Amino acid sequence: MKPIIAPSMLSANFGHLDADIHMVNESTAGWFHLDIMDGVFVPNLSYGFPIVKKIKESAEKPLDVHLMIVQPERYIADFKSAGADILTVHWEACTHLHRTLHAIKNEDMLAGVALNPHTPVAFLEDIITDADMVLIMSVNPGFGGQKFIENSYQKIENLKNLIIKKNSNALIEVDGGVNLETAPRLIKAGADVLVAGYTVFSSKEPIKMIEQLRN
């Protein structure tokens, strides 16, 4: 089964956002990936509810929203209202992760949990059956265009084994350094969803690039 490609809108041209939304709609991408940063959990700021709502107005595919923020549980209903279909929170940001994942599901969104590069997959053992998706950060979060962390392949394999062991249905998503070189190895390791920002939006033929990443 081919992976879902989720172009990261953080790399889009915000001066011509409508054109980039249209491009993703016309492509074989499965989701829009939206990174929300607060300048606290990660050392950068991105966009907030108005941009999420703007993308939702024109998007013909689900919005995959990744919260790189502290206290994400405070904003679950707000992101649902803004248009999120999938909401991912960081293991490192949630004191009560089980409660937060179920709060997301209660808002009729898919619930994801993200792991920073230094966080072991084993920490998900007691929560993996509650998550619809696990996002493996294959770069340190906060900035686009970073170098891929090679240990990510083994981490994905470990996660896949945990999912099988626990009879979970969680998808595996990977964000960071996804390109034509890393994508085949990520898929082979067990990735179901590939987030690609710079690789897609810097391409002269982004629709063709999205299709190449799937194969």
The number of domains in the chain is 1
Active site residues: 35, 175
Which structural domain range is residue 52 located in?
4-214
CATH label of the domain that carries residue 126: 3.20.20.70
Determine the pLDDT at residue 78.
97
CA–CA separation, 156 vs 150, rounded Å? 11
Confidence of residue 46 (pLDDT cuts 50, 70, 90): confident
CA–CA separation, 50 vs 20, rounded Å? 17
Dump pLDDT digits (tens) for 104-154: 999 999 999 999 999 999 999 999 999 999 999 999 876 666 689 999 999
All residues at 6 or more sequence positions from 70 whose CB lies less than 8 Å from its CB, including other chains: 38, 40, 41, 93
Determine the pLDDT at residue 48.
86
CA–CA separation, 129 vs 148, rounded Å? 28
Nearest in space to 31 (alpha carbons), one of 105, 87, 75, 81: 87
Token digits for 151?
């240990």
Token digits for 130?
């509650």
What number is the average pLDDT over the span 38-45?
86
Angle subtended at Cα 181 by Cα 160 and Cα 14, rounded to the nearest 5 degrees = 95
Determine the pLDDT at residue 43.
78
Q: Does pLDDT of 62 surpass 80?
A: yes
For residue 67, CA distances in Å to 26, 42, 46, 162, 204 come to 26, 10, 11, 24, 29
Q: Please, is 123 exposed, middle or buried when counting C-beta atoms within 10 Å of its C-beta (0-12, 13-18, 19+)?
A: middle
Confidence of residue 1 (pLDDT cuts 50, 70, 90): confident
What number is the average pLDDT over the span 97-106?
98
Beta strands in the chain (DSSP E): 4-7, 32-37, 63-68, 86-90, 110-115, 133-137, 171-175, 193-196
Q: Does pLDDT of 19 surpass 80?
A: yes
Mean pLDDT of the chain: 95
Dump pLDDT digits (tens) for 3-14: 999 999 999 999
Determine the pLDDT at residue 44.
84
